[in-house]
Structure 1
Amino acid sequence: MNLNITLTQQIDALLPQTQCGLCGHRDGCLPYAQAIVDGEEANKCIPGGQPVADQLAQLLNRPKLTAEQSVWPIQSDGRPQRMKAVIREDECIGCTKCISACPVDAIIGSGKLMHSILTDLCTGCELCIPPCPVDCIDLVEDQSPLITEQQRTIEQDELRSRYYAHIQRQESRRNTHKGPTVRAAIESEVFSQFTTEIGIDHDQVVTPPQTTPEQDAKRVIELAKIRTQMKKLDKQLTVRPDPAKLQLLAQLKEKLAMIEGA
């Protein structure tokens, strides 16, 4: 296995997978990871903040650098405040430009109809804001409790898979001239090489289920609803144990696993 690819994979695993491009790499975390291997400074991940800059310095055996400053306040875990995008739905004109811009497909809606953001999936990357012609998208603080490192790893793996699926959809749309492509042409060769070199089945990683847009939207909505229910139950159970709620939570986890694995 190519050693540079292995190191790129290790660096990419530490990056938050917001795919925001704030590091200066338009296609997000993986191209920045490759640039770090090639000698670029490892303190440019704004969402990761000082913790990620320090982790990268340790991995690479480089001097620790001060992370580039975020416009948002710093949380107790040392990372900038997590943000979520919300649409002022009564002002949305249904142009679909934000849908194409979202790197993790967290926005649903159809042409000339109101759009909605699935906040459980939103990374706060801000990429949906510039293309909105009526400026109806706001960023608000994520009020959820801070996540553990294990939860962060799971979240980053899911976001990475969603982004790879988004890339393939955008490439297909661009090649067939169906619908707008808001971001610049994606360097898909980078992702193809990466997944091939590390021995991942490219089709399995980046190919979304062969469903209609309506089916895909329904599936995403259902997953979001289940996650929301699970979060509420988790909070309730931390206050007061309840066997019935505990059983319901287990059932929801099973249902979530079944839908995600379908």
Structure 2
Amino acid sequence: MDEIGSGGAGVVYKGVLDGERVVAVKKLGDAIQGELGTELSLIGRIYHKNLVRIWGFCLEGAHNLLVTEYVANGSLDKHIFGEHGTASVLGWNQRFKIAVGVAQGLAYLHHECLEWVIHCDVKPENILLDGEFEPKIADFGLAKLYKRGGVGSDISRIRGTRGYMAPEWTTNLPITAKVDVYSYGVVLLEMVKGSRVSNLMVDEEEDVDQGTLKSLVRMLKGKLESGEESWVEEIVDSRLNGQFNCKQAEKIAEIAVSCLEEDRNKRPTMDSVVHTLRSYHDEPISHEELAVNQ
């Protein structure tokens, strides 16, 4: 098998099953077999076009393996954080499609599937893109399952990735699906800007204002409230050479700001995010926008 990636959950290989089906095989780290086996059995029954499909798993002694569908174009981070001027820059329509698809996948996890599922580690590295650049949310190794109607306050250990983690993780507040909403907001800003904003986080004791994620959100709030549109081009990835939809970009920035509210009760649900994005899905790129920098 060929190694195709690695992360906190383990090394990932590309493999082929007897029926010539191409799969991804993740060699899990220190798995607790009882808990993990139960969790994977439940997750394996979940299916949505914007979630990576789990085909099976093996938990025998040192052989802790997870077999999932193989997703051809790899993770989102490789397509939005490349060097300026690279030929593989994602176009605006692709970015908007990805924003919608990820929202749909999270909405399914939060509101529609048979079990409550909070992903707990939403970030570009865990969003894979298929041959048509349809997004598929991956890596449920940090996910927590809840019975519908159950109490979702029993996560005591901090999970996730610094820069994408909601403020609740460092407080005594119960962890809810709103932690995924916060992480999704960070990912939205990164797709618009084409650069990391998650690394703008600073320690609470540091008196740093300029360049932090909080200051970026405050700036965007002010721009949105001003009613002007000229600021939009300033925040959109310059590698797009102006070829983007201004109304969609402004709406995505507005959604991201709402997702990044410190007060989780002010953040939208993923269902409402999907509804809002779909209402802007068919907005065409205007001739004026296409003509910029050409």
TM-score when normalising by structure 1: 0.26
TM-score for the superposition, normalised by structure 2: 0.24
Instruction: Flag the structure with higher strand content.
Output: 2
